[in-house]
Structure 1
Amino acid sequence: MTDRIIERSPNDPAKKEMNPLLKFALELGPLLVFFFANSRGEDIAARFPVLQELGGPLFIATALFMAALSISLAISWAVQKTLPMMPLVSGVVVILFGGLTLYLQDETFIKMKPTIVNGLFAAILLGGLFFGKSLLGYVFDQAFKLDAEGWRKLTLNWGLYFVFLAVVNEVVWRNFSTDFWVAFKVWATMPITVIFMLTQYPMIRRHALEPNGAGEK
């Protein structure tokens, strides 16, 4: 039985490691469910008539997205006996805004969700730096080990990148169709993020610790 709900800090020797591929699947899976359900919403509703009561494809996709994210968090709990910080924050916002979307039958709320989530992540990371905490170690500590300055720089860069994503989401959902917004959310955001991550690699190498090194995060 665990004595905590949220995952342990990156330097905590008691923190249980998760397979990186499983972690990636749990984070990306709900998003793929959302895209598939939105693109095939009418077919899904025809096969499962009870879903027709939710409304159009976007509302069906929203409900299935909420379910998939809940399952993802449940699997994380089953494997780790703790909940990952960033997906948990995202999950709370998804359930809140997804619930409003379904209850009010207004797709605006689910479209605003990425803005809120990315803005919240930016506030968490940049606010943590203000108080001297490099919180990005909670996300990437299984991928690499950095010295304290490296974590500070990476946290700052990701905080600013989340601000960028929030602004881009506002521009896209307010000026383009729902289908374009969904496609952009799934198929454009990920490549942009990969490109951003590649630009961080030289800095990560400069601040990487030796395998047996220990650094503050």
Structure 2
Amino acid sequence: MRKVNPWLKAALEYGPLILFFVAFMRLKEQTITFAGTEYGGVVGATLIFVPVLVVCTLALWALTGKLSVMQVMTLVLVVVFGGLSVWLNDPRFFKMKPTIIYAIFAGLLALGLALRRNWLELVMGEALPLTHEGWRILTVRLILFFVALALLNEVLRYATDPGGFMGLHLSEQTWVNFKTFGVTIGTFAFFIANGRLFSRYALPKESD
């Protein structure tokens, strides 16, 4: 992978998500017209988010010469479910996308463990040198983390629908805040919380 200015890389990775949030804040009380149809709220923000994400992901590919499996899968699901939401003017499809992504990654990691092939270690082994047992524990915890995110997204998705969820009624702003900030903060908190695991199962340095 070719080296890229870290600020540029961060802008390309997180810029579309921030733009989605800004667009939603502007469109939650008004609409935009595209191809004769009015869009607002989550759908209006999705209409802006999808092409920007495509351009930024392609730019990352051109600059680095490589895309991760997560980036490719996210792009495909965003285009498919974001496109459905715009086409049908229905935000439920786009809100469903995070659940599918988290479920897929939890399933893939669990399948890897079942096959005695830790795919997380294969992908991140060079950046984070841990023993095989450390990778196994981290993978199990990450599976549970993805499952928790998927379940939480489903609760918020249904709770922001007109019918609510088991008496719980939330605004679309709640789901947007979760997607934009909650997942990012939760991911940082997850890895910080596993700091002791990283220390305990770190591979010894060559000089030791």
Per the normalisation by structure 1, the TM-score is 0.78
**Do residues 34 (structure 1) and 20 (structure 2) align?**
yes
Cα offset for 1:212? 4.4
Output one character per residue of 1:112-151: Cα deviation in whole Å (capped at 9) or x when no partner. 1111111111111111221222222466456422222222
Answer yes or no: is the 8 Å Cα contact 1:85–1:138 preserved in 2: no
Answer yes or no: is the 8 Å Cα contact 1:137–1:151 preserved in 2: yes
Return the match for 2:79 from 82, 90, 95. Answer: 95
Greater relative contact order structure (CA < 8 Å, 6+ sep): 1
Root-mean-square deviation (Å): 2.8
Aligned-partner residue type, residue 159 of structure 1: I
How far, CA to CA, are the matches of 2:146 and 2:70 in structure 1?
12
How far, CA to CA, are the matches of 1:79 and 1:58 in structure 2?
30
Return the match for 2:185 from 180, 183, 191. Answer: 191
Cα offset for 1:17? 6.0
4+ long deviations beyond 3 Å: 15-27, 42-46, 49-54, 137-143, 210-213
Per the normalisation by structure 2, the TM-score is 0.81
Answer yes or no: is the 8 Å Cα contact 1:45–1:52 preserved in 2: no
Return the match for 1:146 from 130, 141, 147. Answer: 130
Cα offset for 1:166? 0.2
Unpaired runs of at least 5, structure 1: 1-14
**Do residues 68 (structure 1) and 52 (structure 2) align?**
yes
Aligned positions, number = 197
Unpaired runs of at least 5, structure 2: 160-169
Cα offset for 1:28? 2.4
How far, CA to CA, are the matches of 2:26 and 2:48 in structure 1?
12
How far, CA to CA, are the matches of 1:20 and 1:147 in structure 2?
29
Q: 1:26 to 1:150 in 2, by over 3 A?
A: farther
Report sequence identity in percent. 36
- Secondary structure of 1:136's counterpart equals helix
**Do residues 181 (structure 1) and 181 (structure 2) align?**
no
